[in-house]
Amino acid sequence: MRMGVIDVGSNTVHLLVVDAFWGAHPIPASKHKVDLRLFDYMDEKGAISDEGSARLLGFVRECLDVAEDYGVEALMGFATSAIRESRNGDDILERIRKETGVELKVLPGADESRLTFLAARRWFGWSAGRLLLVDIGGGSLELASGLDEDPDVALSLPLGAGRITREHLAGDPPKPAQVKKVRKMIRAEIAKVMRDLNKVGVPDLYVGTSKTIRSLARLTGAAPSGEGIYTRRTLARDDLKEVLPQLAAMPQAKRAELPGVSATRSLQVLGGAMVVEAVMDLAGIEELVVCPWALREGVILQQLDLIPAP
């Protein structure tokens, strides 16, 4: 079966098309995305503007055309923190449903964490033992830990790379005192949930997903994407600590010249690095192993589980 999933994230909106069959792993067939940055369209009252809503609607229509061109039989869609927190998110999704027929499901933060954990578990397999997952998006940070496919604990915190940058790291680059203040805030928020993670057992493998973590791994020496998804990539805490002061001192234009940091991610890579480094410090993580599968794959895998065996 050829399946498609529309992922309305805080930074980008993706369409992933895969060939998926019962008992087999999903094989990517096509990708289509736009850097929409929905939080940038949100006003002071927490509502997404008409322009932002129109751009999202237009992209969903594009996705329908792409899905038709690629012979997609089943199309799913979901939205994460930007729509979840928007005052008019339900109205936007209802308009999309009426005008396109596409029903985008709003994922609660815990479900976002749980489904990303499922993707990591399937990627690494049972032999990896207990996993601790770190996933950072534009609007939220997801943490999960467990031994089975459904984690024992699945958490979502409002510490996304885009959110931290937008709300707390003004300036290009931000002032050192500002960075110090944000560092303290991030660590205080993460420390509040460490007991929930620690009480379920000591992980055997620490896993990182998301574009931000892949970028940080590349920045600190991991193999480029051209070497394929099966190449092992890691992010070491000591390496991240070494590059953090450099990122904090750089203007956005200089960050965009670094390996693994795209122009669209250069603004928020500092905020993302600060969050990831704080998690690694507080959880005692020396190294994250990068997982190429994340939330979109988790949604597809969950759907595949509903298909009866032939």
Q: Give the tens place of pLDDT for each residue, 243-297.
A: 999 999 999 999 999 999 988 889 999 999 999 999 999 999 999 999 999 999 9
- Is the per-residue pLDDT at 201 higher than 90? yes
Mean pLDDT, the chain, as a whole number? 94
The first and second tokens of residue 67, run together, are 């899905």
Model confidence at 188, in pLDDT bands (50, 70, 90)? Answer: very high
pLDDT at 183 over 90: yes
Boundary (domain end) residue, out of 48, 77, 106: 106
Claim to verify: residue 121 and residue 213 sit in the same structural domain: yes
pLDDT at position 264 is 85
| pLDDT > 70: percent of the chain | 100
Is the predicted pLDDT of residue 307 greater than 80, yes or no? no
Break the chain down into helix, strand, coil percent, rounded to 5. Answer: 45, 20, 35
Q: Are residues 119 and 60 in the same domain?
A: no
Over 80: is that where the pLDDT of 172 sits?
yes
C-beta separation of 114 from 144 below 8 A: yes
**For residues 12-40, average pLDDT:** 88
Region 24-33: mean pLDDT is 87
Q: Are residues 171 and 268 in the same domain?
A: yes
Residues 262 and 151 occupy one common structural domain: yes
Strand arrangement, sheet containing 287-290: 153-157, 141-146, 131-136, 205-209, 287-290, 234-236
What local confidence, expressed as pLDDT, does residue 164 receive? 96
Confidence of residue 157 (pLDDT cuts 50, 70, 90): very high
Q: 284 and 192 in one domain?
A: yes
| Stretch 145-153: mean pLDDT | 97
Residue 3: pLDDT band with limits 50, 70, 90 = very high
> What is the rounded average pLDDT of the residues 59-70?
94
pLDDT at 1: 84
| Residue 189 in domain | yes
Confidence at 116, pLDDT banded by 50, 70, 90: very high
SS3 27: strand
pLDDT at position 22: 77
Tell me, what CATH number does 196's domain have? 3.30.420.150
Work out whether the CA dihedral 272, 274, 279, 280 comes out positive or negative.
positive
Q: What integer is the mean pLDDT of 46-56?
A: 94
Confirm whether 285 is domain-assigned: yes
Residue 304 lies in a domain: no
The SS3 assignment for 143 reads strand
Alpha-carbon distance of 26 to 20, in angstroms, equals: 5
Is the same domain home to 270 and 223? yes
What's the pLDDT band for 95 if we cut at 50, 70, 90? very high
* pLDDT at residue 132, as a whole number: 98
The CATH code of the domain that includes 34 is 3.30.420.40
Q: What is the pLDDT of residue 24?
A: 79
Q: Which domain holds residue 29?
A: 2-106
Q: What is the side-by-side order of every strand in the sheet holding 105-106?
A: 27-35, 12-19, 2-8, 74-79, 105-106
Is the peptide bond prior to 173 cis by the omega test (within 30 degrees of 0)? yes
pTM: 0.94
**CA distances (Å), 35 to each of 14, 84, 138, 160, 280, in order?**
9, 18, 11, 16, 28
CA distances from 158 to 14, 83, 125, 143, 154 (A): 21, 14, 29, 12, 14
Q: pLDDT value at position 89?
A: 94
Q: For residue 176, what pLDDT is reported?
A: 96
Give the model's confidence band at 20: pLDDT under 50 very low, under 70 low, under 90 confident, else very high.
Answer: confident
Give the residue-averaged pLDDT of 18-37.
Answer: 86
Last residue of a domain, one of 106, 124, 150: 106
User: Is 198 inside any structural domain?
Assistant: yes
End-of-domain residue from the set 106, 123, 150: 106
User: Tell me, what's the pLDDT at 26?
Assistant: 86
Query: Domain count of the chain?
Result: 2
Q: Which two tokens stand for residue 234?
A: 């890691």
| Alpha-helix runs per DSSP H in the chain | 50-69, 81-85, 89-100, 109-124, 161-168, 176-191, 194-198, 211-219, 237-249, 252-255, 269-283, 295-304
